[in-house]
Structure 1
Amino acid sequence: MKLGVFLVLFGDRSFEEALDFAASQGVKAVEIGTGGNPGNKHCNPDELLENKTAREQFKKALDSRGITISALSCHGNPLHPQKALAKADHEDFLKTVQLAELLEVPVVNTFSGCPGDHEDAKYPNWPVAPWPNDYQEILKWQWENKVIPYWSEMGKYAADHKVKVGLELHGGFSVHTPATLLRLREAAGEAIGANLDPSHMWWQGIDPVQAIHILGREGAIHHFHAKDTVIDPINVNKYGITDMQSYSNMLDRAWQFRTVGYGHDIKTWADIISALRLVGYDYVVSIEHEDGLMSIEEGFTKAVRNLQSIIIEDSSADMWWV
């Protein structure tokens, strides 16, 4: 495995400065934003798609520092019921896939998106309860008319460009659990897989190790984020896991994101790394910082140190004792 970082953390630095800092901390791979919520500060597809020289310079900046690209990321909502918003995120995805092929990047990360509850809706509707029965009807309509048709087409598009799609399992979107990912993968093809982030498993009550086993046995983990979550044992009893308070209201929230090792101990993270190796994932562990108690630089460097102590870098050896 390789230790990586989601380079959008350093959006206040130039591309070269961000790479230098990542390399100085021992990072071997970067995940780069190309649009959508991550933005495209370090990688503008419109510029790189049109200019071969610019692409060569872009790759040289990485190669000269011994860094590879683990994924291009354009997290958005291509299923948004407002057509203009959906179109912008859809076009970001298409361009990102095209650029990934040219740069020989194997994975494009994004969200599945979430539709509205009918054709003329204005806002996404995320059903999370089976009753009243209206919610089941909404969910059925969304998957049959929006989610499966769109990703069946986009899965084929990605495969045609020799790219895999890593959907981040994230609350608020149609694909947010191992089961919903596998449901879509069965319908849309094996180009569709997970960008698995344990932090989003924990707050949904899902054990990340078990999620790794469930998805890994199907070869459905395309990329992996390293981010932690802590659940407040008192506040969760008041607000529940679907706490709608702002992330900035950290003292009262039921749960909050933390840097690696500050929500769960290193043994838990070692179990996660071992589970990834057990199911055959031998790719990048990409650090994402969303810890409101630490600066980006401190949260990132602490995550690096914690992960360096447990990440399995070498290929497994023959079992000489068998």
Structure 2
Amino acid sequence: MKLGVFSVLFAQKSLEEALDYIAASGLGAVEIGTGGYPGKAHADPDVLLADEGKLKAFKQAVESRGLIISALSVHGNPLHPQKAIAKEFHDDLIKTIELAQRLEVPVVNTFSGCPGDHEDAKYPNWPVAPWPNDYQEILKWQWEEKLIPYWKETGDFAAARNVKIGLELHGGFSVHTPATMLRLREATSEAIGANLDPSHLWWQGIDPVAAIRYLGQAGAIHHFHAKDTSLEQSNVNKYGVTDMQSYTQMFDRAWQFRTVGFGHSMKEWADIISALRLVGYDYVVSIEHEDGLMSVEEGFTKAVGNLQSILIREPLGEMWWV
């Protein structure tokens, strides 16, 4: 395995400054935003696809520092019911897949998206209860009319370019659990898999180790994000896990994102890394920082230190004791 980072943390730095900082921190990989919510601070597909010289210089900037690009990330909602919004996210995704092909980057990360509740809806509708039965009807329409057709076509587009799609299991989007991930994969393409981030599982009550086993046995883990979550039970008792308070309301929120090791113990993180090895994942563990109690630099540095101590780097050798 290699340790990497999602470079959107360092969007205020130039590409070269960010890569220097990442390499100096002892990392071996970088995940780069190419549109959607992460933005294009370090890689604009329109620019790189139009100019072979700039494309080669971009690739050289990464490789000359001993780094690989683990994924291009273009998180968005290409199924947004407002067609202009959906088109912008979709166009960014398609161009990112094309850029990944040109750069020989194997994974593009994004969200599954979430449609509305009918063709002329204005906002996404995320059903989370089976009754009243209206929600079941909405869910059926979303999957059959929007989610499966879109990702069947997009998955085939990516597969034809030797690119895999890593969907982040994130609340508010149609794919947010191992079951919804596997349902979409089975209905569309093996190019569709997970960008697994434990932070989004913990607040839903999902054990990340169990999720890794479910998804890993199906070959459905394409990328991994390292981010933690802490839950405050007294606030969970008051607001529930679907707490709608702003992330800035850290004292009152039921849960909040933390840097690795500040929400769950390093034993739990070691179990996660071991589970990844157990199911054959031997790719990048990419740090993502969204900790409201730490600066980017401190949160990143602490995550690096904690993960360096538990990452399994070497190939599995022969069991000499068997």
**TM-score of the aligned structures, taking structure 2 as reference length:** 1.00
Q: What's the RMSD between the two structures over aligned residues?
A: 0.3
Instruction: Tell me how far apart the structure 2 counterparts of residues 310 and 69 of structure 1 sit (CA, whole Å).
Output: 22
Q: What's 1:289 paired with?
A: 289
AA aligned to 2:301 is: T
Offset at residue 22 of structure 1 (A): 0.6
The one-letter code sitting in structure 2 at the alignment partner of 1:273 is I
Percent pairwise identity = 75
1:246 matched residue in structure 2: 246
User: How far apart, CA to CA, are the structure 1 residues paired with 2:170 and 2:157?
Assistant: 23
Letter in 2 for 1:97: I
Name the residue aligned to 1:14: 14
Counterpart Cα distance in 2 of 1:61 and 1:264: 35
**2:138 is the alignment partner of 1:138:** yes
> 1:285 aligns to what SS in structure 2?
strand
Residue aligning to 2:207? 207
Q: Distance in 2 between matches of 1:63 and 1:247?
A: 36
> 2:122 is matched by which residue type in structure 1?
K
Q: SS of 1:234's equivalent?
A: helix
- Code of the aligned partner of 1:272: I
| Superimposed CA distance per residue, residues 141-183 of structure 1 (whole angstroms, 9 cap, x where no aligned partner) | 0000000000000000000111000000000000000000000
What secondary structure is seen at the aligned counterpart in 1 of 2:40? coil
Q: 2:185 — aligned with what?
A: 185
Task: State how far apart, in whole Å, the 2-side matches of 1:188 and 1:41 are.
Answer: 32
3-state SS of 1:128 partner: coil
Cα shift readout 1:78-109 (whole Å, capped 9, x = no counterpart): 00000000000000000000000000000000
- The answer on 1:73 being equivalent to 2:70 is no
Query: After TM superposition, where is structure 1 displaced by more than 2 Å over at least 4 residues in a row?
Result: none
Matched residue, 1:165: 165
What's the CA shift for 1:233? 1.2
Unaligned runs of 5+ in 1: none
Shift of 1:291: 0.1
1:235-259, CA deviations, whole angstroms, 9 ceiling, x for partnerless residues?
A: 0000000000000000000000000
1:189 shift after superposition: 1.1
Return the letter of the residue paired with 1:192.
Answer: I
**Within-5 A mapping of 1:124-135:** 124-135=124-135
**Equivalent in the alignment of 2:153:** 153
Deviations 1:198-227 (A, max 9, x none): 000000000000000000000000000000
Residue pairs, 1:262-281, within 5 angstroms? 262-281=262-281
Residue type at the aligned position of 2:237: N
CA distance in 1 between counterparts of 2:320 and 2:245 reads 54
- Which residue of structure 2 aligns with residue 23 of structure 1? 23
Note the 1:42-61 alignment, pairs <5 A. Answer: 42-61=42-61
SS of 2:155 mapped into structure 1: helix
Q: In structure 1, how many angstroms separate the alpha carbons of the residues matched to 2:137 and 2:297?
A: 46
Cα distance in 1 for partners of 2:187, 2:155 equals 10
Distance 1:92 1:27 in 2: 27
Structure 1 position 46, deviation (Å): 0.2
1:310 equivalent in alignment to 2:310: yes
**AA paired with 2:115?**
P
